[in-house]
Structure formats: structure tokens, C-alpha cells
Amino acid sequence: MGVLREQMEREMVLRRMALRTRQAYVAQVVALAKHYRRSPDQLTEQEIQSYLLYLIEERRLARSSCLQALHGLRFFYHETLKQAEMNFGVPRSRSPQKLPQIMSREEIERLFAAAVQFKHRVFLMTTYAAGLRLSEVCALKVGDIDSTRMTLRIEQGKGNKDRYSLLSPRLLKDLRHYWKMDRPAVWLFPASRTPDRPITPHAAQKIYYAARDRAKIKKRVGIHGLRHAFATHLLEGGTDVHTIQRLLGHGDIHTTLRYCHLAQQRITATRSPLELLGT
């Protein structure tokens, strides 16, 4: 699907879609074509619907994976092929609402201490201290550090939006020490073998999981858990939800409000109505 792939890529670039989203959508169309061993522009609406049911019933993919397939295929047929009449979807069932596990402050400190290299430690500290997404911390540049205003500039984060986050004095001190040691030129955390390029998300994930295992943290928390911990710990410390929303770059306040369910200190500090009886 060489020509179709180029056409799809062009449509997504014009809409300024993120690289990882573009890659995921193309992969979904490629998987569909491999499944039927035919060009995707020759498939019928019924065949596409059958493929989505195959993902659900036979491959038993998670609902989030099925929805990604749905969105990728819809984009291809509606936007690339201009076949707006194509109508297919996955069954709408209520997905279970699971709250993520949150690392405690003590676990966060253990994670930092378990990093083998100082560069790795500062990378993890920056991710937590500013509440960054993985793609955002990988793309940081030396020039994004503003020690005068004590801010970190996040350029073109999710939704292609720029924003500012916190630069803590403790992090600034370690960043300066790291810069004296490694002298990064453009990218704040360059790749080890190709310093003219930023660290890859894959390499960053390896750094995190190696430190998590050495720290003996048993919670099943990925590197995105540092962002969850950032928001939750801020909320527990008394920061208002609207400020946290701006720091995280959430477009919808409801996305930020879920951290109210994770703030353990607020929960444990709340008195049960049983204690109010007879008073």
C-alpha cells in the first residue's frame, strides 16, 4: 500500500497529528491488509466490521487497542479515501474504570537513588518534578530551562500546544551539575551513541524499568506513573486542581479531576459520618 500509505501520511501531517499517532494509525491499516492479504481500498464495510470483531472475540485485545484500530481505520477510509459512507465500529460497552497505582514519595526517592548513571537519575527527576509525558521529557532542549523564571518550557506537547511547567530548585541544582559533567549541546538528554539526536522513548523506558527493579518497587507502574505521582502529590500538598490542569497541559478539567480519587492523604484525612453521630 505504498501510494495509499503516502497519501494517508500526507493527510495526517496536514492535520498536525503527532508522530506516534501517525505511526499507530498506519500500523492498523497495514494489519488489516495483512489479515485479508488484499489492498485495504478493495475491502468492503462488512469485511472491516468482521475484522474488528475478530480483534475483540478471537484475539481478545483490550478495548483501548480495539478503539485505536477503529480510529485508525476510520481515518483511512473517511479522510484518505474520502469514503464517508463507510460506517463501522466496535460494540459500545462500558470499560472497567481502574485507578492507576501511585508511587509514594518514599518510593520516588528510592527510584532516583537506584539509577546507575547520574544522567539517568536527572532524567527521572525531571520527568517527575515537572509532570512530563515521556515524549515531552525526551524532546526537552537545554534552552527550555529558564532559571530566571524557574520554569521548564514544553514545546509542542500533546495537542501541539506549548506550555510551561515547574523547575524546582533541587532539580535545577542537579541539572547544572549534570550539564557540567555531560555538556549536552542542544538536546537536554541526548542519545548516547548519537548526541545530535534526543534520547528515544525506548531507551528512556529501559532506564526507568531498570531503576524500578533495582529499587524493588512492586507496584505495576510504568514511567507515566511519575506524571501521575506528580499530580497526586501536588494535590495532596494543597495545590488547586486548575493549577495542576495547566501544569499537566490537560484541555479538559475532568481529566485532571480523576486525581482527586488518587489523593490518599485527602481520603484518609476525611472523617467518616459515623464519627459525627451523637455529637
Cell of 169: 530548585
Q: Examine the residue annotation and report whether 71 is marked as an active-site residue of this protein.
A: no
Q: Which of 141, 153, 158, 214 is catalytic?
A: 158
Q: Which of 22, 212, 227, 228 is catalytic?
A: 227
Q: Examine the residue annotation and report whether 208 is marked as an active-site residue of this protein.
A: no
Q: Which of 25, 128, 178, 259 is catalytic?
A: 259
E strand segments, 176-246: none
CA distances (Å), origin 84, targets 32, 76, 77, 238: 19, 10, 7, 48
Q: Examine the residue annotation and report whether 259 is marked as an active-site residue of this protein.
A: yes
Is 46 buried (19+), middle (13-18) or exposed (0-12) by CB count in 10 A?
exposed
Q: Which of 133, 163, 228, 233 is catalytic?
A: 133
Q: Are 163 and 151 in contact (CB under 8 A)?
A: no
Q: Are 111 and 212 in contact (CB under 8 A)?
A: yes
Q: Which of 63, 74, 78, 250 is catalytic?
A: 250
Q: Which of 35, 71, 78, 224 is catalytic?
A: 224
Instruction: Please state, in angstroms and rounded to a whole number, the distance separating the CA atoms of residues 255 and 262.
Output: 13
264-269: long-range contacts, CB 8 A cutoff, minimum separation 24 = 264/102, 264/232, 264/236, 265/236, 266/235, 266/236
Q: Would you please indicate which residues are annotated as catalytic (active-site) residues? A: 133, 158, 224, 227, 250, 259
